[in-house]
Amino acid sequence: MKTVNWKVEGMTCSNCALTIHKYLEKEGMKDVKVSLASGDVSFELNGKQGSSQQIVKGIESLGYTVHDEEGTIAPARSKKFLSNHKQRFLFCLLFTAPLMLHMVDNWVHIHWLMNPWIQLTLCLPVYIVGMDFFGRSAIKSIRNGMPNMNVLVAIGSTAAFLYSLIGTLFNLGEGFLFYETAASVITLVFLGNFLEDASIQSTQRALNKLAKSQKVMANMIAYTDGEEHVFPVENTSLRAGDLILIKNGEQVPADCKILSGDATVNESILTGESMPLHKKSKDTLIGGSLIVDGTIRAQVTTEAKDSVLANIINLVKRAQGEKPPVQQMADKISAIFVPIVLGIAAVTFIVNFIILHNFTASLMRSIAVLVIACPCAMGLATPAAIAVGLGRAARNGILFRNSKSLELFRSIKQVVFDKTGTLTTGKFVVAGYKLIDEKLTVDEFKKITTSLEKYSNHPIAQSIATAWKHPENIRWQKIEEIKGQGMKGIAMNGDVYQAGSYQVAMAHTRDDSHNVYIMKNDELLGWIDVKDEIRPEAIQVVQYLRHKNIRTILLSGDRYNKCHQLANFLGIDEVIAEKSPEEKLTVVEDLTLQGPTAMVGDGINDAPALAKATIGISLSEASQIAVQTADVVLMNKGIKSLPLSLGLGRHTFLTIKQNLFWAFFYNIIAIPVAAFGLLTPTFGALVMGLSDVVLALNSVRLFVKKVT
């Protein structure tokens, strides 16, 4: 299976997104995600299901334009005249404005505008441009069984145009001239589409800011005849292993490792953390970050398309393309909305004609119903809010793997914290050690310890291995990490060594107060104590959760006394200690049954529990398996953005509810108002165009709204 990511232009309403989604599923594509807000389409393509070119032709036959990330999938086209809504609106406005003047003829007295042939001449270019867009789209949507809002616009404007044309041809008089209605409907809907596009684009600004940082120039280093040469290349040309020079004030072009020099680096574009970091030799740099001060030479570790920044952008795009549960109802209604409106318009015409005995008035009211109805509002309500919520989260270093997690945050009742590396920094220093075996030297003890611990991913093990780095190491026949216990190694001579928690030494000592116990052939060699500092933001985060009546729980494999001491200091409600990964999984499973539960962890032993929680939250420096298992990743190297995550989840859902209320309220009120003849088709078209803008603007408020 190959994952395909495309940008599709021409989606103007939720029915467009549904049409593309259903087409791809019909063609056998898997994991289809279509984002109306951003125009991104992704799916899994099986080679047996046809080529990319065939799928492109299929989507373009529906009336849309496809571009892949490199712009090579769809054949290159020269931009035609009137290729966007802004150009169409301005062109139509030139002809519609004079037509509208005759509506105020009592004040300006432009009698020549009353000539039906002049009105036809002015209206015809507008109608042709309108039908080139709305008509084509309407026909294709009907042909594919998914009528969109352009069907309503096309029918409404065509009815007014043909009615006026008949009046002109048969010289039936002023009562049959509604060219200004046909022209103004088309012009104002183009205006609404233009404003809607501009509003939706603003919801993508956080992601666009990240995307702009993907393509930059790099200073590549090459050596010829022993001389160093530096020349500029695009970062997309860089490959793993290439050498680059990054100067003061430049953007890091790719993920890389510093070979020489040191620098102050601003990673705020990725983490939301504005405080610059000091980086030195052997440290890693994330592509997209900024060198505030210093000059370094570095080696590229990852190609641009596989970089941290690229993965972040792809992750957010995929999340935006997913449909949270709250959108499913709106999608179902949107799918049948256009046929329902067509039926209401028909009933409006018949009932009004029976009551009023006036064909013209009945027709105008039915046209007003067609053009004021707005299926886009219901389809746009959720994607617009989700796009802004995910965009603001990405800007602040919070990555959601799916939009469902963003919605689930609103209902979280309890948060479970792992201890080491989550509430504490995970940066340990050796506080003390003791040798039990009198024959063992300190050097041998350190050699055994580092030989074992250097293979572990646990923060305590890594800190000991770093502090006690030994020039010699034991050669292992076999070595493994046992979850919840520690490391176990079998030497080439058959000796069995262990470095782990009290669980591995409990048969040999009753003293369970130490961090690491070293064993050889089931005999205790000694123990090691380490100190870990509490994260400075931990107290504020826990207090925030308690203020929001969210229960806090400390779940750890560490000893109860240490966990209880930490919990008392931070104000955590409950302590569950001395649990293996399997037991952690069971605990989180039980807690989740009691109520929606978020789990925050960073280690290998947390991965099963993260997967079982309602929402699994991992830190960016966590083990790879924890990051891959989590629903949410906090990129700012700490839990301080956890309150923002919860706040964004709750306020995004609140915004979605506000948007859906407006969408339903607008259509429930507007359609009857139009049916009773309380507004003209022209005013209806204007109101319809602005209704989507209201939703987009309400969603954009999430960028600046206080959510914590």
* Residue-wise DSSP of 602-615: -SGGGHHHHHHSSE
First to last CA, the chain: 41
Q: Is the pLDDT of residue 528 over 50?
A: yes
What's the rounded Cα separation, in Å, for the pair 590 and 583? 11
Q: Is the pLDDT of residue 309 over 60?
A: yes
| Lookup: tokens for 132 | 């080139």
The per-residue DSSP string of 493-556 comes to: TS-EEEEE-GGGTTTT-S----SEEEEETTEEEEEEEEEEEEPTTHHHHHHHHHHTT-EEEEE-
Residue recorded with tokens 């590229």 = 300
pTM for the whole thing? 0.65
Domain ranges of the chain: 2-68, 216-306, 397-423+534-648, 424-533
For 463-488, what is each residue's pLDDT tens digit?
Answer: 899 889 888 889 999 999 887 788 99
Burial class (CB in 10 A: 0-12, 13-18, 19+), 631: buried
> What is the per-residue pLDDT for 211?
64
> What is the per-residue pLDDT for 83?
78
For 233-287, what is each residue's pLDDT tens digit?
Answer: 887 788 889 999 999 888 888 889 999 999 988 876 666 555 678 899 989 888 8
Q: Is the pLDDT of residue 69 over 60?
A: no
Q: 257 pairs with which residues across the strands?
A: 284, 299
520 pLDDT band (50/70/90 cuts)? very high
What's the rounded Cα separation, in Å, for the pair 290 and 263? 10
**C-alpha dist (Å) from residue 421 to 592, 616, 628:** 23, 15, 17
Identical fold, 397-423+534-648 and 424-533? no
For 211-220, what is each residue's pLDDT tens digit?
Answer: 665 667 889 9
Query: What is the identity of the amino acid at 154?
Result: A
Q: Is the pLDDT of residue 77 over 50?
A: no
Residue 153 · residue 374 · CB < 8 Å: no
What's the rounded Cα separation, in Å, for the pair 278 and 413? 38
Question: Which active-site residues does the annotation give?
Answer: 418
565 pLDDT band (50/70/90 cuts)? confident
Residue 368 · residue 682 · CB < 8 Å: no
Counting residues of the chain whose pLDDT is more than 70, the rounded percentage is: 84
Residue of 123, 688, 78, 651 lying closest to 374 (CA atoms): 688
Q: What is the rounded average pLDDT for all residues in the chain?
A: 82
Query: What is the identity of the amino acid at 573?
Result: D
**φ, ψ of residue 39 in degrees (nearest 5):** 80, 10
535 pLDDT band (50/70/90 cuts)? confident
What does CATH list as the number for 216-306? 2.70.150.10
> What is the per-residue pLDDT for 55?
86
What's the rounded Cα separation, in Å, for the pair 10 and 523? 72
Per the model's pLDDT, the better-predicted residue between 568 and 266 turns out to be 568
Residue 40 · residue 322 · CB < 8 Å: no
Per the model's pLDDT, the better-predicted residue between 427 and 8 turns out to be 8
Alpha-helix runs per DSSP H in 357-436: 359-372, 375-395, 403-408
13 pLDDT band (50/70/90 cuts)? low
Provide the 8-state DSSP code for 111: G
Q: Is the pLDDT of residue 510 over 60?
A: yes
Residue of 270, 273, 210 lying closest to 639 (CA atoms): 273
Q: 619 pairs with which residues across the strands?
A: 634
For 188-204, what is each residue's pLDDT tens digit?
Answer: 888 877 876 776 666 55
For 337-349, what is each residue's pLDDT tens digit?
Answer: 888 888 999 999 9
Pick the CATH number of 424-533 from 1.10.10.10, 3.40.1110.10, 3.30.390.50, 3.40.50.360: 3.40.1110.10
What's the rounded Cα separation, in Å, for the pair 323 and 300? 37
Across residues 324-337, what is the average pLDDT?
66
> What is the per-residue pLDDT for 73?
47
For 22-39, what is each residue's pLDDT tens digit?
Answer: 888 888 888 888 877 677
> What is the per-residue pLDDT for 497?
95
What's the rounded Cα separation, in Å, for the pair 571 and 588? 20
Long-range Cβ contacts of 584-588 (<8 Å, 24+ apart): 584/555, 584/557, 584/608, 584/609, 585/609, 585/612, 587/416, 587/555, 588/416, 588/555, 588/612, 588/613
Across residues 666-682, what is the average pLDDT?
86
Asked: is 2-68 a CATH 3.30.70.100 domain? The reply is: yes
The per-residue DSSP string of 266-291 comes to: E-HHHH---S-EEE-TT-EE-TT-EE
For 582-626, what is each residue's pLDDT tens digit?
Answer: 888 889 999 999 999 999 987 656 777 888 889 988 886 655 555
Query: What is the identity of the amino acid at 148?
Result: N
Pick the CATH number of 397-423+534-648 from 3.30.365.10, 3.40.50.1000, 1.10.10.10, 3.40.50.450: 3.40.50.1000
What's the rounded Cα separation, in Å, for the pair 37 and 382? 10
**φ, ψ of residue 696 in degrees (nearest 5):** -65, -45
Q: Is the pLDDT of residue 415 over 90?
A: yes
| Lookup: tokens for 619 | 């830190």
Q: 3-state DSSP call for residue 426?
A: strand
